[in-house]
Amino acid sequence: MRRGAISRGLAAALFAGAVPLIPASPAAGDPAADGGKLFATSCGWCHSQGGRVAGKGPKLAGTKRSDEFIVNRIKTGKQGAMPGFAKTFNDTQIAQIVHYIRSLKDE
């Protein structure tokens, strides 16, 4: 199947209303996927390729930093290098971002 093409069966199911078009509630979501969305909109500007390679910010895939360190860095930032996001993200969202970072494969 070509990339981006929808199979006839899936297309028929979509048009028949058999497949819901509204995503599940955030509580039912995948923490890494939810964190990936948050990461992409706020962190991906500096942490290139979704954190997989260094950009303006360091590579995050395979980091040896503790979860506690990462949470603190997201909340407080690093003077002159990274803003703090304590007022942008709540604790659940920060946990999702950490989960996303942990899901990155070090290549």
Is 46 a member of any domain? yes
The answer to whether 32 touches 78, Cβ cutoff 8 Å, is no
Is 40 a member of any domain? yes
Whether the per-residue pLDDT at 89 is higher than 80: the answer is yes
Q: Domain containing 81 — which CATH number? A: 1.10.760.10
Is 93 a member of any domain? yes
d(CA 65, CA 88): 22
pLDDT tens for 6-37 read 444 444 444 444 333 333 344 456 777 889 99
What is the model's pLDDT at position 31? 75
- How high is the mean pLDDT of the chain? 79
Structural domain total, the chain: 1
Is 31 a member of any domain? yes
Structure tokens at 92: 């659940």
Instruction: Give, in order, the Cα–Cα distances in Å from 23 to each of 13, 20, 102.
Output: 16, 7, 24
Whether the per-residue pLDDT at 76 is higher than 80: the answer is yes
Is 44 a member of any domain? yes
Question: What is the span of the domain harbouring residue 85?
Answer: 23-103
Residue with tokens 């991906």: 44
Is 6 a member of any domain? no
Whether the per-residue pLDDT at 67 is higher than 70: the answer is yes
